[in-house]
Amino acid sequence: MWTYSLIIGITCTFNTFLSAFENIALQKPTYQKHQYLRLADSLTRASNAVDGLKTNLSVLGAQCVISENNQPSALLWVNLTSILSIHHINIYFRTENNPWNPSYNFTQRALGFSLYVSNTTNRSEGTLCFKDTSFTQNTIPAVFNTTCPVRGQYVIYYNERLPGVKYPEDYSKYAFNDICELEVYGCSRLGVYGDNCSIPCLDPQCKYCDLRTGTCRGGCYPGYQGHTCELECAIGFYGDGCQKQCRHCINMMQCHHVNGTCLGGCEPGYKGYNCMQGMKIR
């Protein structure tokens, strides 16, 4: 009885943990390399990976991504449409609705995959979140989960079986996508964390904070700087990253640190809210 209660407790905690974040990949734009085209597009297209459906994990279920046979690489990405904070990623592999076991060839296809988060569609320009170097046909799960506390716009799934490279014996000969759902959990808004992404970051001037603790992880709003965005721009500077310089305010101490407005007026010969416009001399 104690063991059963413990399992129930762990399950409840895990479900609560997952519900704390949004699936920010849901219904977002997607792309796959080498789509399988000998079936209807609705059965094989990349968007099936983010449709929120995972009740039929077969090629005819219209819920999975299917890639072409005999390819040396497989690639699938989802565009989150803006740079967002990610906490963890789930992958539901194609099973054809059969028991997931070592003798099943779909376990071979999944081995060796990588997950990247990038601000472009180029995985080499991003962060490697996960690279499978230890799974075997006996250990790779049908539903994979990994924590990936980074920021980015594109989540990229990649696998390869390159010519001339020796892979473990239980790897498939070719690379495949074979993904039925790619879930990316995080927050769709800046400056929040925690349950349902509803709690403001501990420092109000921080764009991005740890999605579990709320502590600042960088990215200050315009006009602020410092490790936790606690500092206003130095006198005479303003804007995003405090990179813009006030130039023609009468008193530089009255140059607003956020938008550069000269609160005390302009030096002779200049006008505009930030005193950047030279006045014509008649």
Query: Given this model, what pLDDT does residue 3 score?
Result: 33
Query: Given this model, what pLDDT does residue 154 score?
Result: 98
- Domain assignment present for residue 205? The answer is no
What total number of domains does the chain contain?
2
- Domain assignment present for residue 194? The answer is no
- Domain assignment present for residue 264? The answer is yes
Query: Given this model, what pLDDT does residue 105 score?
Result: 86
Give me the residues of the chain with pLDDT under 70, please: 1-19, 279-282
Query: Given this model, what pLDDT does residue 153 score?
Result: 97
Q: Residue 22 sits in which domain range?
A: 2-187
Query: Given this model, what pLDDT does residue 19 score?
Result: 53
Are residue 171 and residue 271 in the same domain, yes or no? no
Query: Given this model, what pLDDT does residue 9 score?
Result: 37
CATH number at residue 11: 2.60.120.260
Query: Given this model, what pLDDT does residue 11 score?
Result: 36
Place of tokens 């028991």: 99
Question: Are the CB atoms for 36 and 67 separated by under 8 Å?
Answer: yes
Query: Given this model, what pLDDT does residue 31 score?
Result: 98
Contacts of residue 44, defined as CB under 8 A and 6 or more positions apart, other chains included, come to 35, 36, 37, 59, 64, 65, 66, 67
Are residue 47 and residue 95 in the same domain, yes or no? yes
Are residue 43 and residue 145 in the same domain, yes or no? yes
- Domain assignment present for residue 200? The answer is no
- Domain assignment present for residue 213? The answer is no
Are residue 29 and residue 147 in the same domain, yes or no? yes
If residue 5 lies in a helix (H) or strand (E), which one and from where to where? Answer: helix 2-19
- Domain assignment present for residue 59? The answer is yes
pLDDT in tens, 147-201: 999 999 999 999 999 999 999 999 999 999 999 999 999 999 988 998 789 899 9
